[in-house]
Structure 1
Amino acid sequence: MDKLSDSPVPGKLKVVKSDDWSNWQEMEVDYRATAHRALLSAVDDRNIWVATDTGMILKLAAPK
């Protein structure tokens, strides 16, 4: 592992999306979201959630 992933300090959460599995775009995420690990859960296309190991739960919102 590299030194960054061994850090005890969680880093900024990044979420990416793709329509074709080739081109990926970073999504906007709450600036307070930090984590070492995150779990993505989807019930349907309107209920998508990310839970972090630091205790934050985020819901995917429609773009503004």
Structure 2
Amino acid sequence: MTADRPPHRPQSPPAEAIRIGVFICHCGGNISDVVDVRRVAEEVGRLPDVVLSTTHMFMC
């Protein structure tokens, strides 16, 4: 007979290891004609743990 154990859950990395990158696509104008993607990238870049926030004209 085996003892019931809770399922294994991996531990989260320490907070200093969290690094987030954000890539925002212009979609050739489909998005950037409506949304100020550069401003979004600037604002997102100020969020905690975001180490990179950039825009690209085409990502697909």
TM-score w.r.t. the length of structure 2 is 0.27
Specify which structure has the higher proportion of strand: 1
- For the pair shown, the structure with the greater C-alpha radius of gyration is 2
TM-score w.r.t. the length of structure 1 is 0.27
